[in-house]
Amino acid sequence: MFPKNTWYVACSADELTDRPLGRKICNEPMVFYRAAGGVVAAVEDFCPHRGAPLSLGRVCDGQLVCGYHGLVMGCDGKTVSMPGQRVGGFPAIKSYPVEERYGFVWVWPGDAALADRALIPHLHWHDHPEWAYGGGLYHIKADYRLMVDNLMDLTHETYVHASSIGQKEIDEVPCKTTVNGQEVVTSRFMENIEAPPFWKAALRGNHLADDVPVDRWQICRFTPPSHIIIEVGVAHAGHGGVNAPDTHKVYALVTDFITPETDTSMWYFWGMARRFNPTDAALTAQIREGQGKIFSEDLEMLERQQANHSAFPDRRLLKLNIDSGGVQSRRVIERMLAAEQAASGRGAPANEEVSA
């Protein structure tokens, strides 16, 4: 269950080279490519001739050519030509609104008439001289909402990421969740603690002492449909925490764009934008490697959790206070789904078990 009248990240811009890229999003097989002038385009990954995936074809002079019998597809889903055939009566396939922005390609899987490019979230750190960014992509065989739960409740760090960012104080300090319209924020502030290994390395990466007590913060911000940006960092204790001057802290954003592939699989675009020592490319690579390893630890947990849910779909699950960020985020998604279904005349969906 996922909203479709919204923007999802389809791929990173550098995934789109001179070849078509096939990717299923919201249960729809799509093919992305660079049309004339390098402008991104997306159509159904289904050739109207015999149903071959167009992603197995190639891009010639900015046009998508089916790899089976040479049909040339236009970015609007209408067949342009086919060797030796008249194509006027060929049925059109679906084309999708797409936009390349902030190093990503964004796609609107739903009603193209409703696609408003102003709704693409503004990623202020992109190409900003005070910021550096590194990230990656994981394919995970789990309902995308399990990742929303995961990122809106960071108590799991103590257990899943014990050797890098986990520490007992995460369990000991309660988190607070607030809802502002469609935005859900869960935050936790830990004071006068020892920095865990990942953050000690980050302090060293910013030429700051790593052997003194720190204040640590985690501010998880969910916005529709399933984007989660987490303000994270540590500051030398007693200097104001998240508001400490840059000379005493390492401050970053964990960026998570979660795109449903099917009901039980997702594309997870993870990354970190940091606002310290931005020109140090080696530090960017080191942080990216560390973060990739940390998120790979979530991957197994979520896939095995999904397998349990699929095997026992009727089991009731528990909701604790630590789950409130995920629960509230799921409510936002459910309201979007209800609005979409009401607008399409299908009525409200059956009430979803938010802890499922």
Q: Could you say which of ligand FES, Fe ion, none residue 309 binds, taking C-beta under 5 to 8 angstroms by partner kind? A: none
Q: Are the CB atoms for 222 and 176 separated by under 8 Å?
A: no
Q: What's the rounded Cα separation, in Å, for the pair 87 and 71?
A: 9
Partner that binds at residue 69, options Fe ion, ligand FES, none, CB closer than 5 to 8 Å by kind: ligand FES
Binding status of residue 52 toward ligand FES by CB under 6 A: yes
Q: CB of residue 338 vs Fe ion: minimum separation in angstroms?
A: 30
> Residue 68 Cβ, how far from ligand FES at the closest point, in Å?
4
Residue 50 interacting entry, from Fe ion, ligand FES, none, C-beta within 5 to 8 Å by type: ligand FES
Q: Out of ligand FES, Fe ion, none, which partner does residue 126 contact, by CB within 5 to 8 A per kind?
A: none
For residue 154, the partner it binds in Fe ion, ligand FES, none, with Cβ less than 5 to 8 A by kind, is none
Compare residues 66 and 185 and give the one whose CB is closer to ligand FES.
66
Name the minimum Å distance from CB 340 to ligand FES: 32
Percent of the chain as helix, strand, coil, to the nearest 5: 30, 30, 40
Residues that bind Fe ion (CB under 5 A): 298
User: Residue 275: which H helix or E strand, with range?
Assistant: none
* Beta carbon of residue 57, minimum distance to ligand FES (angstroms, whole number): 8
- Contact between 120 and ligand FES per CB under 6 A: no
Question: 95 or 186, CB closer to ligand FES?
Answer: 95
3-state SS string over 13-39? HHHCCCCCEEEEECCEEEEEEECHHHC
Q: Which two three-digit tokens encode residue 268?
A: 């997870």
**Candidates 61-69, 239-247, 283-291, 307-315; binding stretch for ligand FES (CB under 6 A):** 61-69
Q: How far is the CB of 65 from ligand FES (least distance, A)?
A: 9
Provide long-range contacts, Cβ within 8 A and 24+ apart, for 58-66: 58/19, 58/20, 59/18, 59/19, 59/20, 59/33, 59/34, 59/35, 61/36, 62/34, 62/35, 62/36, 62/37, 63/35, 63/36, 64/20, 64/31, 64/33, 64/35
Distance, CA of 178 to CA of 55 (rounded, Å): 43
Q: Would you tell me how many other CB atoms lie within 10 Å of the CB of residue 331? A: 15
CB 348 → ligand FES: shortest distance, Å? 40
In the bound state with ligand FES, the residue whose beta carbon lies nearer, of 48 and 271, is: 48
SS3 255: strand
Residue 55: left if φ>0, alpha if ψ -120 to 50, beta else—which one? alpha
Task: Provide the pairing of β-strand 63-65 with 21-25.
Answer: unpaired
Q: Which does 298 bind (CB under 5 to 8 A by kind): ligand FES, Fe ion, none?
A: Fe ion
Distance from chain centroid for Cα 127: 19
Residues 66-95 that bind ligand FES (CB under 6 A): 66, 68-71
- Least distance CB 150 / Fe ion (angstroms): 6
Which residues, 32 to 51, sit near ligand FES by CB under 6 A? 47, 49-50
Applying CB under 6 A, the residues found at the interface with ligand FES are 47, 49-50, 52, 66, 68-71
